[in-house]
Amino acid sequence: MNSNSESSAKAKLTLGYDNNVSDNAESILKSRFYQLYVNSNISFPKEKSTFLMKLQNGIKYLDDSAINYESILVNDLSTCFSYRILAWLMPEVSSEIKGRTSIHNISNISPSEEPYLRGSADLALKTVIYGDIAGKIYCSIGAVNFEDFDIYDSRNSKIGLKADIRLLPDTTMGVSYSYESINFSKWNEEQLIRKDKLGNLTVSIQSYRNLLIDFAYSYQSDKSNMKRFSNKSNRFAILLAKSLPDNFVIQTYAVLRLEKYETPSEDTDISQFDLFDDERSVIAFRLSKDINDLCTLEVEYDLRSKRSVENGSYTKGVISASVLFNF
């Protein structure tokens, strides 16, 4: 590695149990699973500029003959280049590609994660307004392609504003707004191609003294030219983390997403959020222990509510134990 570069890597090996891996509310399939994720960070810092590349590669293996011992391949790549023009002004160019691939031979079994490929490119301008206030304006374009649900394939563009405000030495508040246009080019009904306009407002606050508290609230308005898909949603998320003696850390994470459609119908049971494995509601508990600087042990349990494409909403629980290695 070049002497002007910095790099780090983390490997996570997990053994777990999932009480419904089929993504199906009626035909429940339980399975053990094994997964290995490797995350790598490479940066090239210079006096005024920085190039950062992050990679995540992994495989998840489901140990159940009913789904033909399915494997999920995970490949993510993100890059970011920033250049400091002035002490308070910095443009930034970034990109991201995410992929999920399901390997199985039974056509009538839904995969545990919907296979897809999506990518985006972003242009942002960061600035320090005052010593305790930092701002960001950005625009991006993106695309999504699903393997099994072509009508959800889309092209999108987004613009947004974000501000971070330091309220106290250990408390920070964030406010952001984004406007996104999504074109579902393969969703054609009576010669009408579906187009959505999304506005999203998010307010977050993070505080750390003896306990880390990270809370975020988001309000989203989705206006579609196919009116039955127009909806408004509220999303609440909170993370609590506490350091304990003997290098233990306990964390609790919860998410709740509520949606209300203008014209409710059966066709609105599934959205892109669900295909991306974004849960309607989650509560998770994690306990970890640092053995040394290179090794961490972790146990986790999470309960989540989801919606499948064909069979409505359901609840699933996942318990896992992991060992993490830092390089």
How many angstroms separate the Cα of 302 from the Cα of each of 22, 62, 105, 203?
17, 18, 29, 25
Domain boundaries defined on the chain: 6-326
Tell me the per-residue pLDDT of 217-244, one tens digit each, with 9 for 90 and over: 999 999 988 888 888 999 999 999 999 9
Mean pLDDT (whole number) for 180-206: 91
**Statement: residue 72 has pLDDT above 80:** yes
Q: Is 25 left (phi over 0), alpha (psi -120 to 50) or beta?
A: alpha
More confident of the two residues 127 and 65: 127
pLDDT tens per residue, range 266-294: 555 455 555 555 567 899 999 999 999 99
Give the per-residue pLDDT at 191.
78
Confidence check: pLDDT of 324 > 90: yes
Instruction: Report the CATH fold assignment for 6-326.
Output: Porin (2.40.160)
- For the chain, percent of residues with pLDDT exceeding 70: 87
User: Given a cut of 60, is residue 203 above it in pLDDT?
Assistant: yes
Q: In the predicted model, what is the mean pLDDT of the chain?
A: 87
Read off the pLDDT band of 186 (50, 70, 90). Answer: confident
Distance CA 105, CA 291 (A): 41
Question: Dihedral of CA 146/151/152/155: which sign?
Answer: positive
Encoded amino acid at 32, one letter: R
* pLDDT tens, position by position, 135-166: 999 999 999 998 777 778 899 999 999 999 99
User: For residues 148 and 36, which has the higher predicted lDDT (pLDDT)?
Assistant: 36
The one-letter code for the residue type at 261 is Y
- For the ranges 61-75, 143-157, 172-186, the maximum mean pLDDT occurs at 172-186
Whole-number pLDDT of residue 276: 52
Neighbours of 291 (CB within 10 A): 11
Q: Indicate the residue type of 22.
A: S
Residue 86 or residue 325, greater confidence: 325
pLDDT, one tens digit per residue, over 101-138 is: 888 765 566 666 778 899 999 999 999 888 789 999 99
Q: pLDDT higher for 263 or 1?
A: 263
Which pLDDT does position 64 carry in this prediction? 81
Q: How far apart are the C-alpha atoms of 34 and 230, rounded to whole Å? A: 39
pTM over 0.75: yes
Task: Determine the pLDDT at residue 189.
Answer: 80
Residue among 205, 288, 192 at smallest CA distance from 247: 288
